[in-house]
Structure formats: C-alpha cells, structure tokens
A and B are shown apart, each in its own frame.
Chain A
Amino acid sequence: MAAGGLPHPLIYFNELNHALGLNVPIHVWYTWAVMAILFTLSLAVRGKLAMVPAGLQNFFEVVIGGLEDFVVANIGEKGRTVFPIMAVIFIFILGMNLTGLVPGCDAPTANVNTNAAMAVCVFLYYNYIGLKTHGAGYIHHFMGPVKALSPLMLVLETVSHLARPLSLTLRLFGNIRGEEIVLILLFTLAPVVGTLPMYFLFILAKVIQAFIFFMLTMIYLKGSLEHAH
C-alpha cells in the first residue's frame, strides 16, 4: 500500500493477493495475521498451563497480571468483570502497531477503518455495561449534577460521548500512520542505516499508543460503572 503517496518497497500480502487473484485490503490481511499469531500463542500457552509458570506462560502472566493490577487500582474490584476485553484491546493493538516495524509489513492501525471499528466496539461496550449496571438510571450519567440544567447537559453529554470514539480513532490513526510515513521516507533516503535508529523511538511510541487506547477504554468503563455524580 502507498503510505502517504509513497510506494512501499514490498508488501508480502500484495504478492499473495496477486498469486491468489484476490482483492482483500492489506490492513485486513495484516489484522488476520495478528489475530492468527495471538490465537496460536494463546492456544500454545493454554495447552500446557502449569502451577509453576515457565517460558511463554511466565511472560503472559507478567503482562496480564500487570494490566490487571493497573485496572483494579483504578476502577476497583468491579474492574475484574470488564478486564478481559481491555486486556485483549491492549495486546491486540500492540500487536498490530508493532507489525508496522516488521520489514515488508504494514501496520493495520495505520488505516482509519481498523481503528474506527475498534473505537466503535469500545463505545458500544461501555454503554452496554452502563445500561446493564444501572438500567434506565444510566440516563443520569448524561444529565449532570444540577437538575435545572439537565436538558442542556443532555445535549452536551451526548456530543461529548459521541466525540469519544472519534478521538480514539484519530489519535491512533494519526500516530501510527505518521510513523509509517516517516519510516518509508527514511528508508528511501538511507536504506537500513536511516531507519534503524528510529525503530527504538517507534517501539516506545507504539507501546504508548496501545497503552493510551487501553487506558481511555478503562476510564470510559470506569465512568459507566460508577454512580452518576
């Protein structure tokens, strides 16, 4: 795929599309690839769970345990019920972001469609959790603390809630797409030598972006789990 009008030197799945005569978009292929990797890893870990963790299980226990501690410290014990979807979001987005650093691959999150899909999922999920926890009383979340101002606050809160998926989408898209463009530009200027130092910066930036998506999901879920002010 051309990132910002620049031709990408080589994309594996373009070749596969050619070979199979298919026309599946690149970001969909790479999303599937990341999903396949994650499924394989999780099945491999589940296959030989042990009381004394070793190898891969050790790694996943550290990652998921750390995330769970973070969620419970922020939301409280109720956070454990909604924790799985947040852990999946973090690991999945991290995987997709880091795909962009593999030579010949393109990050699926550098396409706005992938991000919009995930942001809409988060939006629907936290509203569903809010409705499930509070029932019809969930509307109080949109009314603000002052009764006289509640019609105005209803409009304001609706706009600000609808803005959430938009800001989630655009931040992730802008960051990852920008990084991909910088990588390709540097690669055309000075192959390998120019791109290598940027890898260290971008690994950090991509982890931060995945973490921010995860953290915002957590903040939204916290808002829909707790009582209206």
Chain B
Amino acid sequence: MAFKIFKEKAAWDMIGTASTMGMHMVSGTLVGLTMGYFLDRWLGTEPWLLLSFLLVGIVAGFKMVIEDSQRILRKQKDEDDDKGV
C-alpha cells in the first residue's frame, strides 16, 4: 500500500519541506513587489523602488529555496550517519 509511507515520520517531514519550496519562491517575489509598489506610491519615486524591491523579493525567494534544500540535505546526512553507526 502506498499509505505505508505515512507511518514514517521522515516522510511527513519531507512532504512538508517539498511542498513548501514552490510556495516560498512565489511568496518572496510577491512580497517584494507589493512593498515596492506601495513605497513608490508613498514616496513618489516611480518606478525605481518597485523594480529594486522586486529584485530583492526574487533574491529572497531563491534564498528561502536554498535554505529549504539545505535543510533536506542536512536531514539526509543525519539519517545516513545514524544508519552508519
């Protein structure tokens, strides 16, 4: 049965992290865009803050994805170490 996989705690953990990564990339960009848009409207500096904050948002999104993948890698390494001992 395919449901057997859910009896393992590591599987739950992995599903969580994997389904997070896509969302993290998009939400970082969206937050950057929104911040830039409203700062522009407030300070009247169109379109510079929008563009720079969009860039910052994209970078932040990628950074979160990298952190997520590092977490997966670290977890796998821990498990491999456990098996080795």
Interface residues in chain A, defined as those with a beta carbon under 8 Å from any beta carbon in chain B: 70, 73, 155-157, 159-160, 162-164, 166-167, 170-171, 204, 208, 211-212, 215-216, 219
Is B28 a contact partner of A208 (Cβ separation < 8 A)?
A: no
Q: Which of B16, B28, B30, B35 contacts A211 (CB 8 A)?
A: B16
Q: Is residue B83 contacting chain A, with contact meaning CB distance below 8 A?
A: no
Is A159 a contact partner of B31 (Cβ separation < 8 A)?
A: yes
Is A212 a contact partner of B64 (Cβ separation < 8 A)?
A: no
Known: A208-B15, A211-B12, A215-B13. A163 touches B20 (CB 8 A): no
Tally of contacts, chain A with chain B, CB under 8 A? 62
Is A163 a contact partner of B61 (Cβ separation < 8 A)?
A: yes
Residues of B in contact (CB 8 Å), total 27
CB contact list, B13-47 vs A, under 8 A: 13, 15-16, 19-20, 23-24, 26-28, 30-32, 35
Interface residues in chain B, defined as those with a beta carbon under 8 Å from any beta carbon in chain A: 3, 6, 9, 12-13, 15-16, 19-20, 23-24, 26-28, 30-32, 35, 53, 56-57, 59-61, 63-64, 71
Smallest CB-CB separation from B24: which chain A residue?
A167
A–B complex contacts, Cβ < 8 Å, 7 sampled: A160-B61, A163-B31, A167-B26, A208-B15, A211-B12, A212-B20, A215-B16
Question: In the assembly, what is the distance between CA of A166 and CA of B19, in Å?
Answer: 15
Chain B residues whose C-beta falls within 8 Å of the C-beta of A160 in the assembled complex = 28, 60-61, 63-64
Chain B residues whose C-beta falls within 8 Å of the C-beta of A208 in the assembled complex = 12, 15
Smallest CB-CB separation from B58: which chain A residue?
A159
**Extra contacts besides A163-B27, A170-B23, A208-B15 (4): CB < 8 Å:** A156-B63, A162-B31, A163-B60, A167-B27
Q: Which of B9, B15, B53 contacts A212 (CB 8 A)?
A: B15
